[in-house]
Amino acid sequence: MTGSVEGASGDTGTDTDAESSPRAKRAVVAKRVDAGTADLSEISQLAAAAGYEVVGELSQTRTEDAAFMFGEGKVAELGALVRRTGAGAVIVDNDLGPYQTFNIGGELPDGVEVIDRFTLILEIFGQRANTRKAQLQVELAELRYELPRAEAKASLAKRDERPGFMGLGEYDESVERDIKRQISEIQAELDSIAEKEQARRDQRRDSGFDLVALAGYTNAGKSTLMRRLAAEIDVDENVDRHPDLDRTAESEDMLFTTLGTTTRRAEMEKRDVLLTDTVGFIADLPHWLVESFESTLDSVYHADLVLLVVDASEPVESMREKLVTSHDTLYERNEAPIVTVFNKIDRLAPGELAAKRGALSGVAPDPVAVSAKTGAGLAELRDRVEAELPDWERERLVLPVSDDAMSLVSWIHDHGHVDEEAYANDQVTVDFEAKPSIVARARSKAADIAATGSPTEST
């Protein structure tokens, strides 16, 4: 068994700087691993994202203790560290059971909160939930987190016949039923929202837009990349606006900056593309949390193309693990092609990009390398997006010059890419490319013009 304990500055844990934030928002982070060395960097980032100041760290390498998660001696060290630093919370980078949470709390000063990894993530999600859909998903995740704890209370209460056994609180049978009822009601409302969003996607496709989604782990730079690619034009000006369109996608060096979805028109040479940024993946999420936010990923699952963004400045093994997990998540339900984007290449040393391309060729055979920060590689990425999107059809229409024909030509300009528009002998010839559905509608409109008695050709 091994372990370590230190203050935020790596010293003996004194709290000379601890008064820089209120006690309730100062935290000690802790983690137990079965083998190797515990990495506390991500949980520290998550704590910062939730607004905590990390004032101390503790780790241990050993098998899980059923009562405390850590060994009892390490929990005593944890209590001492909390007292030295004046922390108001202990954030544990493990999935704590209800008894473990209670037992650890019993070894800490009064009023110190014990928060496990997933409770912290839910806290962050709650802070970021600015739309009705996001708020519902947070509520759903919280209820799914609480349900097994309510069931545990039921089991213990029935077995031990003592209310409040193990400090879990007095059990009421109606609590479990109420949680299940709320889960059902929230899921029904989310299903209704999903239907409306699918209708919106269908409408966008009917208008000639291709749908491209950004996916990848949180903090990979998706939002910054979106700002680089997006035109300064809001989407859906003629229909109900998506609630996230009121602001530009944020880009901060912070986990979970984007919780809902944000959609913008992207700048492309030929095609009209709508680019959607959504919540980032994060390692080791339990199934109940992934399921709660599954509807947020609908924009990825139903896209015409997915850009899988990876932080190229991370170690190769970390990139590989995230690529494999992302592919497992995406290929489960997604049928669209996936283009891997190596972002943050501005942080790489000479020769490092080529080495990583070679090392990861099995999981990322042909990635596009970019820096969303500097703009490097964006032209290549735009070309790749247009090349990977579903093929367009080419069409040539010859129409008599008339008001209806001019209206159709204008519509084709809005919904496709016109390669040539020529006028001769009271006729207009328009040679264009567009999605098959747009070509079919253009032909139908041309046929209607022909039905009025004017000659029309289509080749």
Q: What is the pLDDT of residues 13-43, one digit of tens each?
A: 334 344 455 666 899 999 999 999 999 988 9
103 is in an annotated binding site: no
The answer to whether 7 touches 85, Cβ cutoff 8 Å, is: yes
Query: Which residues partner with 420 through β-bridges?
Result: 431
Fold of 393-458: Alpha-Beta Plaits (3.30.70)
130 is in an annotated binding site: no
Q: What is the pLDDT of residue 40?
A: 93
**Do the domains 207-388 and 393-458 sit in the same CATH topology, yes or no?**
no
8 is in an annotated binding site: no
DSSP state of 266: E
Q: What is the pLDDT of residue 242?
A: 35
DSSP state of 375: -
More confident residue, 333 or 126: 126
CATH 3.40.50.11060 for domain 2-120? yes
Q: What is the pLDDT of residue 166?
A: 46
- Structural class in CATH, domain 207-388: alpha beta
For 150-180, write each residue's pLDDT tens digit.
776 666 555 555 444 444 455 556 788 899 9
Closest CA to 170 of 146, 150, 147, 148: 150
133 is in an annotated binding site: no
359 is in an annotated binding site: no
Give the helix/strand (H/E) hosting 31. Answer: strand 26-33
For 352-383, write each residue's pLDDT tens digit.
999 999 999 999 999 999 999 999 999 999 99
222 is in an annotated binding site: yes
What is the average per-residue pLDDT within 332-339?
Answer: 79
435 is in an annotated binding site: no
- pTM higher than 0.85: no
**Residue 351: how many CB atoms within 10 A of its CB?**
8
Q: Locate 51 and state its tokens.
A: 């607004």
For 238-272, write each residue's pLDDT tens digit.
233 333 333 334 444 444 445 567 888 888 888 88
224 is in an annotated binding site: no
For 185-230, write each residue's pLDDT tens digit.
998 998 888 888 878 877 777 777 889 999 888 788 888 899 899 8
371 is in an annotated binding site: yes
Q: Residue ranges per domain, the chain?
A: 2-120, 129-154+169-198, 207-388, 393-458
331 is in an annotated binding site: no
220 is in an annotated binding site: yes
Average pLDDT, the chain: 80
